[in-house]
Structure formats: C-alpha cells, structure tokens
Amino acid sequence: MTVEWELDHIFLALDPRSEEGTELIRRGLEPSYRRDHPGQGTQNLCFCFDNAYLELLWTRDKAELAANALARSKLPERMAWPGKGVCPFGIAIRPVSGRDDLPELPFKSWAYRPSYLPQGTAIQVATMSDDARLPFLFHVPGSKPPAEWPDGLAGTRQLATGLVRIVAIRLHLSCAPVAAMAKVQKSLPWFGVNWKAPEPMLDIVMQDGSGKLKRMPLPFAPPVEG
C-alpha cells in the first residue's frame, strides 16, 4: 500500500488548570514554543519532534471561541470535555515528505480560513468531526516536519532526550464504531482506533535515535472538571 499522508501534529484540548504541560516537562520533553490564535480564542504550548509535534491547546477567550467557525466542529465542547463523552484530541495530517502534489484527503472536509494563516489558504477540517465524539481531523496547508522549519520555532526539538520521531498513535474512544473512520484508518497506517474505552485517551509511540520505542499515554491524569 502506498502511504500518501503522514502525521503533522496532535493536539490535546485541556483546561488551563491541568498539569499536562508540567508533566510532559517532568518526563523530559522540551517545550518548543507557545502561540496565540487570533480570532479563535485559544492558546497553545507545543513540543516538537523531528517529524511532528504535540500541541496542548486551551481556551484564551470563551466568547471568541464560541463565535469562531470551529464551533461547527465542537471545538468549545472539546475544550470542556471531561465527563461529557467528547473527544479532546485533534490529528493533523500532511502529504508525505517530498511529495509535490496534494493527494485526495481520506475524509470529506470543509475549509476553515483563520486570520493567522496567509490569505488564500485554508485548513481542511473533516466533516465527520462535526460529531464531537470523534477526533478533530484536519489537513494543514504547506506544513513541513519541524526539523525543516526555517524560523527556529522548533528549537532543539527533543534532541536532549534522544527522542526523535512520533511513529504511531492509537486513539481510544468511548463510542460505537463510525464507518467513515474506516477510510481514515486505511489511509493512515500509523493511526489506530480502539472503540471500547471508558474515556477518550491517546497512546503516542515515540522512537529514539537507536530505534527503541517509548509509549506515552495522554492525558496523564483524570481531567479537571468544572
């Protein structure tokens, strides 16, 4: 099977009171950068690897978030997900490195045009992500692996820990299987789904320079409620 899409990044929507960022740092990961999302009402903290990055995402302005087009894909609900049967994970894909053309997306999508993107470009968001029980799936235009970023935002990535790449992710969901996800899984061999979890969870498989694998679950602890 020809692999056309690779992982660009993962996000976890969380309460800003959570300790996820602190725990990631305690476990040895190096923060790369923080950013506001104007017009979207969110902020983030990102941890870059050579090929992809992990984004922690939280609400900066509730009114701005509620008025944003991403309300269609239940981003406000995802940001306040504990105990509500909502998936707090986002998965962004990009064409495999070195490919010049844009292959067919493995999901039907709609165009999201935030002000922080260059004019004329759009993030393609999966229509199936209108269902908040499913992950927030999307394609980021023009994205490259962090190791190839020219702006220095990726910093030293995770070189200090020896962790090089995110090689696989497995998503655990607490809803019945959805047919549209079958095409996604077939197109993304590095992405697995378990439909029988009591609460949403994500296993991230990372690889170090010697090829040894390390598994990290998210979230680390029961989410903050209220």
State which residues form the domain around 65: 5-160
Whether residue 165 lies inside any domain: the answer is no
- pLDDT value at residue 97: 81
Q: Which region among 79-83, 90-94, 110-114, 212-216 has the lowest average model confidence (pLDDT)? A: 79-83
- Note the pLDDT tens digit of each residue in 123-180: 999 999 999 999 999 999 989 999 999 999 999 999 988 999 999 999 999 999 999 9
Could you give the number of structural domains in the chain? 1
Whether residue 145 lies inside any domain: the answer is yes
Q: What's the mean pLDDT when you consider all of the chain? A: 91
The β-bridge partners of 202 are: 171, 218
Residue 149 sits in a domain of what CATH number?
Answer: 3.10.180
Whether residue 18 lies inside any domain: the answer is yes
Q: Residue 130's closest CA among 210, 72, 82, 78? A: 72
- pLDDT value at residue 19: 85
Whether residue 213 lies inside any domain: the answer is no
Whether residue 126 lies inside any domain: the answer is yes
Residue 69's SS3 state is: helix
pLDDT reading at 223 higher than 70: no
Whether residue 222 lies inside any domain: the answer is no
Mean pLDDT of 71-75: 96
- Note the pLDDT tens digit of each residue in 1-30: 577 999 999 999 988 778 888 989 988 899
Distances (CA, A) of 107 to 110, 139, 166, 213: 10, 10, 22, 29
- How far apart, in whole angstroms, are the C-alpha atoms of residue 179 and residue 183? 8
- Note the pLDDT tens digit of each residue in 43-52: 999 999 999 9
- How far apart, in whole angstroms, are the C-alpha atoms of residue 48 and residue 161? 12
Whether residue 68 lies inside any domain: the answer is yes
pLDDT reading at 224 higher than 50: no
**Is the entire prediction scored with pTM above 0.85?**
yes
Whether residue 77 lies inside any domain: the answer is yes
Backbone angles phi, psi at 147, to 5 degrees: -65, -15
